[in-house]
């Protein structure tokens, strides 16, 4: 739940109220009516209006700035990895920081007759 007076950015217009997308606003009240689909009342100084909005339509300015910084940092690292031809760094960035799981190759061991029947029965049971 956002605090009163917090600076927000309008990111969506789910109820097609002609909200000024991308504009700044301030939370001025909570809509406590249980029958209402709206969560907040915001004031947009540029539009000189107040709007009732659901919580999905607005986002804190700080969160949007953090997401933008992360995106720019990732793009810069990708550019650096491409310029320096650092394949390991490139793969690390593209995988989201998760290490690659080595793909296990199927073993080419010859199964005994009993082992083969046991595996077929297990698969048939599932």
Predicted confidence (pLDDT) per residue in 12-27, tens digit: 999 999 999 999 999 9
* Beta sheet of 49-53, edge-to-edge order: 49-53, 40-44, 24-30, 7-10, 58-60
Q: Which pLDDT tens digit goes with each residue over 78-94?
A: 999 999 988 898 888 88
Residue 110's pLDDT is: 74
Model pLDDT, residue 40: 93
pTM of the predicted model over 0.75 = no
Q: Which of 39, 45, 47 is nearest to 4 (CA)?
A: 39
């Amino acid at each position: 739940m956002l605090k009163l007076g917090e600076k927000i950015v309008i990111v969506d217009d789910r109820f097609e109220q002609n909200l000024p997308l991308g504009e700044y606003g301030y939370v001025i009240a909570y809509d406590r009516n249980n029958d209402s689909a709206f969560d907040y009342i915001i004031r947009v100084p540029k539009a000189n209006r107040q709007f009732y909005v659901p919580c999905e339509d607005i986002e804190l300015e700080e969160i949007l700035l953090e997401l933008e910084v992360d995106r720019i940092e990732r793009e810069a690292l990708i550019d650096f990895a491409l310029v320096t031809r650092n394949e390991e760094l490139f793969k690390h960035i593209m995988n989201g920081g998760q290490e690659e799981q080595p793909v296990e190759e199927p073993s080419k061991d010859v199964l005994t007759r009993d082992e083969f029947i046991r595996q077929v029965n297990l698969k048939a049971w599932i």
